[in-house]
Amino acid sequence: MSSEGGLKSVESFINDGKVDEVDKFTMFNEWCAKEGVIMPKLEYPAYFEGGLLGMRCKEDIYHREAYIMVPVKMTVSLDKAYCHPVLSKIIDENPECFDKDTNADWE
């Protein structure tokens, strides 16, 4: 299951490419809340014209206002990702996306 540009979808790395029937968005939001993620002005999932999926602001976000707070324990570094059974496969199969020398916006 490849997407445009030769990159595989996340589902291709999980459950042999089969998509789960569970409401993954509800599960994700519940997991975030349980782990301490705070995003009072954001709505996820949000559906947009053309079938696009993303996140939407529910209220204005002001200059320098934090709009999402994520506990340090929830952050993912590249080092942590290399140790993960699914994420490491994605990195290994798409090294051009994770190479500091080929991405001008790498910080």
pTM above 0.95, yes or no: no
Same domain, 40 and 19: yes
Query: Domain range for residue 23?
Result: 4-70
Q: Could you give the C-alpha distances from 31 to 37, 45, 55, in angstroms and in order?
A: 9, 14, 17
Q: Is the pLDDT of residue 4 over 60?
A: no
* Cα 60 → chain centroid: 23
Closest C-alpha to 37, from 73, 13, 8: 73
pLDDT in tens, 60-94: 999 999 999 999 988 888 888 889 899 999 989 98
Segment 23-36 mean pLDDT:
91
Co-location of 30 and 65 in the same domain:
yes
20 and 60 in a single domain? The answer is yes
58 shares a domain with 88:
no
- DSSP conformation letters of 7-70: PBPGGGGSGGGPPP-S-HHHHHHHHHHHHT-B-TTEEEEEEEGGGEEEEEESS---TT----B-
pLDDT tens digits for range 50-67: 888 899 999 999 999 999
